[in-house]
Amino acid sequence: MGFFEKLEGFKMDVLKEVGNIGAGNAATALSQLLDKPIDMAVPKVQILPFDQIAEKVGGQEQIVLAVFFRVEGDAPGNLFFILTPEAGKGLLHRLAGLVVVDEEQFSEMEQSALSEIGNILAGSYLSSLADFTGLSMTPTVPGLAYDMAGAILNYGLIQFGEMGDDALLIDTTFLEGKNEVEGQFFLIPDPESFEKIFIALGVPLQDD
């Protein structure tokens, strides 16, 4: 795994801070939307084999709700906002006043509302990162899926597929109250983006 060998402890900490700033702002945005406090777990930066990435949300076949954004600009990547179906229904109820009709499905109205919520959160995640790094990072229009976690997340691994069998994931979990999970943000920067992020933040790139 030559690609990741250069990412020693200090750089991993920098990426953790990247997750902290992005998700911190997104958590604030969600907290404002819901008018209640949203906590955030310390971001995890991990290099994981493809197969294990879906384990972070309950396994390959776990059914999740995901809003996906391709990040465009100076430091491209993939951004997922992932919710359990229950958390998704809860958000819809509190934010849009939509009453749960079907536990198992999401109507077009619900999907559209969830995409918009994802859009607001991803916007604040990325704009704070862009401010922090001085790099342009803009989300595409949101794509929504309600499906197996494996099938959804694999989509964000394609850029890493050319490099090897592992990907680097910046994972932040939102918590409501004690530890009820509200949602998770996964940022998977493209392999080329790391160097740009490090240069932008003044992290020395010396190769040994």
Partner 1 sequence: MIEEQAVVKVGMADLNVVKESGIIRTTGLGSCVGLTLYDKNIHLVGMAHVMLPSSDIAREGQLNIAKYADTALPELLKRMADLGAIRSRLVAKMAGGAQMFSFSSGGDNMRIGPRNVEACKLFLQEYKIPLIAEDTGANYGRTIEMDCTTGMLSIRSVQMGKKEI
For partner 1, the binding residues (CB under 8 A) are 2, 50-51, 54, 60-61, 63, 68, 70, 140-141, 143-155, 157-159, 161-165
Query: Residue 23 CB, nearest distance to partner 1 (Å)?
Result: 21
How much of the chain is helix, strand and coil, in % rounded to 5? 45, 25, 25
Nearer to partner 1, 128 or 193 (CB): 193
Q: Annotate 74-86 with DSSP letters as a single string.
A: SS-EEEEEEE-HH
Bridge partners (DSSP) listed for residue 15: none
Residues 81/87, Cβ–Cβ less than 8 Å = no
Nearer to partner 1, 43 or 150 (CB): 150
Query: Residue 208 CB, nearest distance to partner 1 (Å)?
Result: 18
Query: Residue 200 CB, nearest distance to partner 1 (Å)?
Result: 23
Q: What are 153's two structure tokens?
A: 């997340």
Nearer to partner 1, 162 or 208 (CB): 162
Nearer to partner 1, 70 or 196 (CB): 70
Nearer to partner 1, 40 or 66 (CB): 66
Nearer to partner 1, 68 or 198 (CB): 68
Q: What is the DSSP letter of 65?
A: E
Q: How far is CA 98 from the centre of its chain?
A: 25
Residues 174/70, Cβ–Cβ less than 8 Å = no
Q: What are 130's two structure tokens?
A: 């862009």
User: Could you tell me whether strands 77-83 and 143-148 are parallel, antiparallel, or unpaired per DSSP bridges?
Assistant: unpaired
Query: Residue 184 CB, nearest distance to partner 1 (Å)?
Result: 17
Query: Residue 10 CB, nearest distance to partner 1 (Å)?
Result: 24
Query: Residue 30 CB, nearest distance to partner 1 (Å)?
Result: 22
Say how far apart CA 175 and CA 154 lie, in whole Å: 25
Say how far apart CA 181 and CA 123 lie, in whole Å: 21
How many residues are there in the chain?
208
